[in-house]
Every structure is written in C-alpha cells, then in structure tokens.
Amino acid sequence: MGTFFSEQGWLCLTVTAVLGATILCRFKKSQGQVGRKVVCLAGLWGGACLLSLSLFWGSILFSLSCFLLYTYFSGQELLPVDQKAVLITGSDSGIGHALSKYLDELGFTVFAGVLDGNGSGAEELRRTCSKRLSVLQLDVTNPQQIKDAHSKVKEEVQNRGLWALVSNAGVLGLPTDGELIPMTDYKRCMAVNFFGAVEVTKAFLPLLRKSKGRLVSISSMGGGVPMIKMAAYSSSKAALTMFSAVMRQELSKWGVKVSVIQPGGFQTNIAGTSDMWDKLEKNILDHLTPDVQKDYGQDYIHKERSFLKLIKTSGEADISPVLLDIQHAISAKSPFALYAPGKMSYLWLCFASCSPTGIFDYVSKKCHSYGRHMPRALSTPNLKNETM
C-alpha cells in the first residue's frame, strides 16, 4: 500500500502539520522574506514525507529537516540593539525618512544624512525623534560633506565603530526612451545612485570593519529587471547591485555582511513634483536634435508624465515591508544577500534572470501598458514611410 495510506505516512503528515503550524505561529511577526521561506521549507518537508517509502526514510528526512530548520532559524535571530549606530543617506523623505524614524523608535543611534539640512524633512526628524538621532548635512555627491559627516560620526561612535551604513540616497529623473534622456540625466543618476554610494561606502568602511557590521544598499527591482523608460535610473541601480555583490565577497573576510534591497513599486517622493517634471521635460526638449524631435514629437514626450503619475499612484502606500527587510538586514545574525520587498518583486527578478529573452520581452510588453503610445513618426503614415 502507498505511503500516503500507511501509518508512517499519516505520522509524517501529522508531524509536518504540527511543525509547520508551530513555526508559522512563532514567526508570524517576522519579516516577509522569513515568513515566505518558512512556508517553502514546510512545503518541501511535507512533499518529502509523502514521497518517503518507509518509516526509516521518513525518520531520516524528518531529522534532516529539523536540523536544517534549526540552522536556518538560528541565523534569523535578531541581535540586540545595544546602542548600535546606523548611518542612513537620503533621509529627507521617502524610505530614508521613514527608516530613520523607525530605527530611532527601535533604540538605534541614528545618523540621518540629508540633502538639505534646513529642509522640512530634516526639521521633522529633529522635532519628532529622540536625542539619539542626529541629522547630518550629507550630499553624497559632495566629497567635503562626506568627509565632514565621517568626522562627526567617528567622534560620536569612537571605539564602537559604525554598525550599519544604509546607502539609500537616489534620484529618478524623467522616465522616457533611452534615446531621449539627456547625458546630463544619465550622469546625474550615476553620480547620486552609484558613485555617491561608492564614495560614502569607501569613507565609512573602516568604521564598519571595526564593528564587523553591515553594509546595506537600497537598489531597485529595476536594477535586475529591464524596464522601459528607465534606462538611466535602472543602469545606475544595476551598477549599485553589482558593486554590492562584489563587496559582499570581499568584505566577508572582515566579518562585514552586505545586503542589497531591491524593492518593487512603493509610493515615495522619488518621482518628484510637477515643477520638477517641468524642468526635466524642458531639459529633454532642449537637448534633442531636430531629427530626433521630429521623429518622436513633443506630444510623445509630454505624455511621459503619465508614467510619473502612475509611479505616484499605483505603488504600494505601505512601505513597512521595505522597513522590515532593512531591519532584518541590519539586525539578523545571518542576513540575506538579497531582499525583494513588494508584490511580485522576487518573481519578476527570477523571471528576468531565468526566462528566454523573447518570452520576457513579450510578457513585459503586455504588462506595461504605459509604454504603448507611439512616437509621431511611427503613428503618422507619411512620416512612418519617410522613416522606413
């Protein structure tokens, strides 16, 4: 008789149910990635039990599963805060601002680096957070400000070192076709999203090595998934992701752990304001050659604002999954190398990495309706013939 109907099979299923329920209850409040992996492990264990042919092999599989679960969960234990100091760049608004408040509430000593030390975001942090939080003037593209911030942090932490650096500062620009994006926008994205993060990392690594702490880079799903209209932004985030992956290997000998956060669509202030969109749009039009402007048409460029509006309205309003994953990267005994908070983010990253190019491009085109309006030369018959 098959295992499913045998006493051993029912025993394995019972143990699986009890084990899975116990683990899920215990880690109900854990970070999203942890919960998802628990479900996967429990599912694998259940499948293994069903496939086992005897009580002996069922016992072996059960013992192995218990060992793996014990090893896994021992690494997910969160370390005590214990006056640990964290530096966060880009804390004026969005994820950086919310993270500064969140870690302050948890008891961390927070250094909130802001682009504008006199701005509303900086003033709100000073007003609402504890005395453990310090606001630092920190433009990640300004070497002198990085040096000054390093001196202040070093003086504060002294021999403790800096426990974690969260490279969060980033800019988006106006999403449009890569041919239309001015070189100034490409350079701006690289300067802030990549070179700024690298320079800040290099400056603070001695303090991280002293504490054997954490380096956390806030990248983007766009850093691993090709997304139309995002050539400048995604390229800079892809560079940051690869830099972090290399640093993860190089810093392991120092005891420093490196994680990359690749969030999906969340509502933050990175899309900017209408006034900013006006300036970006004007910058694009000013840099177009007559031939390119004729082929694309100004109406096509004006319609690109619809994508920015989509970013501001369609993303997830609740950014707590991002904050929880960053907390896990900072505090877990064995943090993950990659976190992908957000709906379908991890699946999209896997799909982009594993699927054939033709299939990915087809699915992406079907999913992204915002890219369906056509340039003037392709939508006007006479101009289309001239272009062909």
Residues designated catalytic = 233
> Strand locations in 50-187, DSSP E?
85-88, 109-114, 134-137, 164-167
CB proximity list for 109: less than 8 A, separation 6 or greater: 83, 84, 85, 86, 132, 133, 156, 157
Handedness of CA 26, 29, 32, 34 (dihedral sign): negative
Q: Tell me the CA distances in angstroms from 341 to 36, 106, 164, 240, 344, one per residue in order.
A: 11, 20, 20, 17, 9
Q: Nearest Cα to 108, choosing from 124, 127, 86? A: 86
The continuous run of DSSP H or E covering 354 comes out as helix 345-354
Q: Nearest Cα to 191, choosing from 115, 95, 112? A: 115
Strands across the sheet containing 164-167: 134-137, 109-114, 85-88, 164-167, 214-218, 257-261, 338-339
The continuous run of DSSP H or E covering 214 comes out as strand 214-218
Give the separation between CA 378 and CA 388, rounded to whole angstroms: 9
Handedness of CA 186, 187, 191, 192 (dihedral sign): negative
Burial of 78 (0-12, 13-18, 19+ CB in 10 A): middle
Give the separation between CA 18 and CA 21, rounded to whole angstroms: 5
Give the separation between CA 325 and CA 22, rounded to whole angstroms: 23
Give the separation between CA 338 and CA 218, rounded to whole angstroms: 10
State the Cα torsion 197-201-203-207 to the nearest 10°.
Answer: 150
Three-state DSSP at 260 gives strand
